[in-house]
Structure 1
Amino acid sequence: MDFSSINWLAVLVATVSAFVVGGLWYGPIFGKAWMAEMGFTEDELKEANMAKIYGTAFVLEFLIALQLALFLNHGGTDPSVGQGAAYGFHIGFFFIALAMGVNALFSRSSLKLWFINSFYFVILLTLMGVILTVM
């Protein structure tokens, strides 16, 4: 892996974008539906260790953005914005969403929950691909 070609600021911005997208996705867009599908109440969510959750999520999202940057820069290529978006979408949909679909089938979770959880990553990785190729 060649870390010399990594734009660390772009990786950081892509990581932060996960929190922006997540805040919207699991907030005003699908927050109530996600809570209902998961069986959570607002009080239960307030009891969680948010520093641990957000801190660990930041590290994991950073690693996702870093790996996508390494993938996009593989072989010293300079992909276009369209390619970044396409690669992000394909990874998000064909690897993450479909794998989460298999998991949803065996865990017997609802189609709605599968959609909410997996398409967050489809949108996020598409956006990350754009960020990593624009910057």
Structure 2
Amino acid sequence: MELLNPVAMLVAAISALVIGFIWYNPNVFGNAWMKAAGMTDEDVKGGNMVKILVLALIFAFLLSTALPGIVIHQMGVFSLIGGDPSIAEPSYAALMADYGDAFRTFKHGAFHGVLTGIFIALPILGTNALFERKSAKYIFINAGYWIVTLAVMGGIICAWR
């Protein structure tokens, strides 16, 4: 059983951009985010969107490579054998035969994604925003995006085998 799925990780990375298009749309949180960030329409339109989107996709892919260790419980067992099932003891194959699909659902991955958003993304974003003198609204808009995004990314990565 393969635990790492590069296609799932790529789709999860793309999902971050799709969610961002929705989340930061002016009809959703876009206008409130711009105001909280102190940005104008000219500021937003003045950026190199190709560069921004390509880098955002790369960053999202990097994030998706860290998520399997968080959302797939079997990664712990995989790491104990050094990442190479061909050199593992027979007990590894028996354990994976019995428990290889345990908790491998979208719902379970989304749960761990939400926890990751709350306990990792929120504190990082919140700390940066405090020193940047940004408002609570700014923190919660951005943290909300990452909590939702990590839930979707975690669900995709955990469920897609």
Structure-to-structure mapping, 1:87-106, within 5 angstroms: 87-106=112-131
Partner Cα distance (1:40, 1:109) in 2: 12
Percent sequence identity is 37
C-alpha distance in structure 2 between counterparts of 1:12 and 1:52, whole Å: 18
Please give the root-mean-square deviation of Cα atoms over the aligned residues, in Å.
1.7
Q: Read off the aligned partner of 1:127 and give its amino acid letter.
A: V
Contact 1:6–1:70 at 8 Å: present in 2 too?
no
- Once the two structures are TM-superposed, the CA of residue 44 in structure 1 deviates from its matched residue by 2.1
Q: Match for residue 107 of structure 1? A: 132
1:88–1:122 CA contact under 8 A, matched in 2: yes
List per-residue Cα deviations over 1:72-112 (Å, max 9, x = no partner): 25124543323211211111111111222222223221000
Distance 2:59 2:147 in 1: 16
Name the counterpart of 1:123: 148
User: Are the equivalent residues in 2 in contact too, given 1:11–1:65 (CA < 8 A)?
Assistant: yes
Aligned pairs (5 A) from 1:77-96: 78=101, 79-81=103-105, 82-96=107-121
SS at match of 1:80: coil
CA distance in 2, matches of 1:51, 1:107: 26
Q: Is the 8 A contact 1:84 1:126 kept in 2?
A: yes
For 1:54, give the aligned amino acid: L
Q: Which residue of 2 aligns with 1:54?
A: 53
Cα contact 1:34–1:113 (8 A) shared by 2: yes
Give 5+ residue unaligned stretches, structure 1: none
TM-score (norm 1): 0.88
Runs of 4+ in 1 over 3 A off after TM superposition: 76-79
CA distance in structure 2 between the partners assigned to 1:133 and 1:68 by the alignment: 9
How many residue pairs are counted as aligned between the two chains? 132
1:19 to 17, 20, 31: 17
